[in-house]
């Protein structure tokens, strides 16, 4: 199954690009490395210093070599660790291609790891998710996939369904001889137990899609409350126009705010009054703002602590109340849970960031949950449907029961990749970047 041609790619940068890695995997990996590195021994599992010779110059580099099957791809593999110069990396890659290697496609190294049985499909997805993780929660969930947590939880269910299926099939073979290996009640009990484990897995797991989605928070308040100034202060750049004239912000505009555990999309909208103004522009501004408030994950209500205006009541309950312009007033008696800040002096902005981080990414103490992607959820739900049909037909013909149990097993097998159609694999590995 695993192709034997030799692939090469620039893989990654290490230590803020101080070093770059070019990887080559396949039957000719060692031969190609020897032809480029003068006198390299390439002892498996070892790093060695050697001289890279190409296009008339020589450069000291490190090479790491691995012999099949003890490598990431399961094949012979060599990594060239070279000084962090992208030009140098592409020259080396070209040299390898000129000597017979093929340019690796996105995810092809990991695809080879999968085909050689080094990792299962959920672990491969863990590699992709780790590369693409934008927040700590996503990274933690990706690490769990990578560590094979989903396989560990699914395997006992698959074993139990396979065992029931085996006994049902023996029953079919001996059906003329009046021997029963499993009574319908026992079948129902075993299948229900397996189904219960799957239900629990779905219930206790988070959804990767939800983790991958960048949380959005909208700043809401009366005109001149200091929303745009706050956006600029949190984003660390002058994204929005600020002025003492009320009604400065008209369109919604967003900026990414880097919080300790990930990025938060913060959206600034036009200031709102209790009633939209009667003119056309005012009406449109009001509507845009309401739409943003509706679709946001979090509503941050900004109230001008130095002003006398009554507090604005947003159409959706606020997740956090912020009193702005704290520098203009003395001590502000803030209600429990609210934060008083000054975007001008920076007072309490760190505390505000901390609160936003908690709201966007959950409390820091929350334990890491297993996250499933929509492919996992769909397959597990299919398996559950087949199991419920098996329960309904437990008293009937063994052949039909066997069909349902096999279908459940196939669906679960697809999660781990034991019975994956090629197009499914193609889609998963295409989401990778080249060199992984
Ligand atoms: N002293 C002080 N002034 C502030 C602070 N935050 C905002 N301001 C001032 O308040 C005025 C209004 O600020 P903006 O950020 O434009 O207010 P806004 O809520 O975006 O207003 P609209 O876009 O009109 O809805 C500006 O003159 C800011 O300089 C603060 O923390 N301290
Ligand atoms: Mg504004």
CATH code where residue 89 lies: 3.30.1360.120
CATH code where residue 251 lies: 3.40.50.300
Read off the pLDDT of residues 309-319 as tens digits, 9 standing for 90 and up: 888 998 888 99
Q: Is residue 433 part of a domain?
A: no
Q: What CA–CA distances, in Å, run from 219 to 6, 225, 234, 252, 296? A: 54, 10, 12, 10, 10
Counting atoms of ligand 1 from 1, which one is nearest the CA of 341? Answer: 31
Contact 64, 11 (CB under 8 A): no
Same domain, 254 and 376: no
**Structural domains of the chain, count:** 3
Read off the pLDDT of residues 10-55 as tens digits, 9 standing for 90 and up: 876 554 457 888 999 999 999 999 999 987 889 988 889 999 999 8
Same domain, 215 and 357: yes
For residue 244 and ligand 1, the question of a CB distance below 6 A is answered with yes
Is the pLDDT score of 363 beyond 70? Answer: no
Q: Is residue 124 part of a domain?
A: no
Q: How far apart are CA 436 and CA 417, in angstroms?
A: 19
Mean pLDDT of 93-111: 89
Contact 276, 195 (CB under 8 A): no
Smallest CA-to-CA distance from 218 within 87, 313, 314 is with 314
Q: Domain span at residue 69?
A: 7-119
Between 99 and 260, residue with greater pLDDT: 99
| E-strand stretches of 239-387 | 253-259, 262-268, 298-304, 320-324, 339-340, 371-372
Could you tell me if residue 45 is left (phi over 0), alpha (psi between -120 and 50 degrees) or otherwise beta? left
Same domain, 253 and 352: yes
Q: What is the pLDDT, as a whole number, of residue 365?
A: 44
Pairing of strands 298-304, 320-324: parallel
| Position 146 confidence tier, pLDDT thresholds 50, 70, 90 | confident
Is the pLDDT score of 246 beyond 50? Answer: yes
Q: Is residue 298 part of a domain?
A: yes
Average pLDDT, the chain: 85
Same domain, 30 and 99: yes
For residue 229 and ligand 1, the question of a CB distance below 6 A is answered with yes
For residue 242 and ligand 1, the question of a CB distance below 6 A is answered with yes
Same domain, 308 and 282: yes
For residue 276 and ligand 1, the question of a CB distance below 6 A is answered with no
Ligand nearest to the CA of residue 272, numbered in listed order: 1
Read off the pLDDT of residues 110-124 as tens digits, 9 standing for 90 and up: 888 888 888 888 888
Ligand nearest to the CA of residue 282, numbered in listed order: 1
């Amino acid at each position: 199954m695993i192709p034997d041609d030799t692939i090469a790619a620039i893989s990654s940068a290490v230590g803020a690009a101080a070093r770059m890695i070019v990887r080559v995997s396949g039957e000719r990996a060692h031969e190609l490395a020897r032809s480029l590195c003068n006198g390299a021994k390439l002892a498996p599992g070892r790093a060695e210093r050697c001289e890279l010779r190409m296009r008339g110059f020589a450069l000291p580099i490190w090479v790491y070599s691995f012999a099949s099957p003890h490598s990431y791809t399961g094949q012979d593999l060599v990594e060239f660790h070279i000084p962090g110069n992208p030009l140098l990396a592409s020259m080396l890659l070209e040299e390898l291609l000129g000597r017979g290697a093929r340019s690796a496609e996105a995810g092809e190294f990991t695809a080879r790891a999968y085909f050689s049985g080094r990792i299962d499909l959920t672990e491969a997805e863990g590699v992709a998710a780790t590369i693409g993780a934008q927040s700590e929660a996503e990274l933690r969930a990706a690490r769990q996939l990578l560590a094979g947590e989903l396989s560990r939880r699914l395997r006992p269910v698959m074993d139990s369904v396979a065992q029931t299926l085996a006994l049902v099939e023996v029953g079919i073979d001996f059906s003329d001889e009046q021997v029963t290996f499993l009574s319908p009640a026992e079948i129902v009990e075993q299948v229900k137990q397996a189904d219960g484990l799957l239900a629990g897995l779905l219930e206790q797991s988070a959804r990767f899609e939800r983790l991958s989605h960048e949380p959005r928070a909208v700043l809401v308040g009366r005109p001149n409350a200091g929303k745009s100034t706050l956006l600029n202060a949190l984003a660390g750049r002058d994204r929005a126009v600020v002025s003492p004239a009320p009604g400065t912000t008209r369109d919604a505009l967003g900026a990414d705010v880097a919080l300790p555990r990930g990025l938060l999309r913060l959206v600034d909208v036009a200031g709102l009054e209790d009633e939209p103004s009667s003119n056309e522009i005012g009406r449109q501004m009001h509507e845009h703002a309401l739409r943003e408030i509706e679709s946001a994950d979090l509503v941050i209500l900004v109230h001008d602590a130095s002003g006398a205006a009554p507090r604005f009541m947003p159409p959706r309950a606020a997740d956090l109340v912020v009193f702005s312009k704290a520098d203009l007033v003395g001590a502000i008696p803030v209600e429990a849970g609210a934060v008083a800040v000054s975007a001008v002096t920076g007072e309490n902005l760190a505390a505000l960031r901390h609160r936003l981080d908690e709201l966007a990414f959950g409390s820091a103490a929350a334990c890491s949950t297993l996250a499933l992607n929509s492919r996992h959820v769909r397959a597990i739900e299919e398996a559950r449907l087949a199991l419920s049909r098996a329960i309904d037909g437990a008293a009937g013909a063994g052949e039909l029961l066997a069909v349902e149990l096999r279908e459940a097993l196939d669906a679960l097998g697809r999660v781990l990749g034991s019975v994956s159609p090629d197009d499914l694999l193609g889609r998963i590995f295409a989401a990778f970047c080249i060199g992984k």
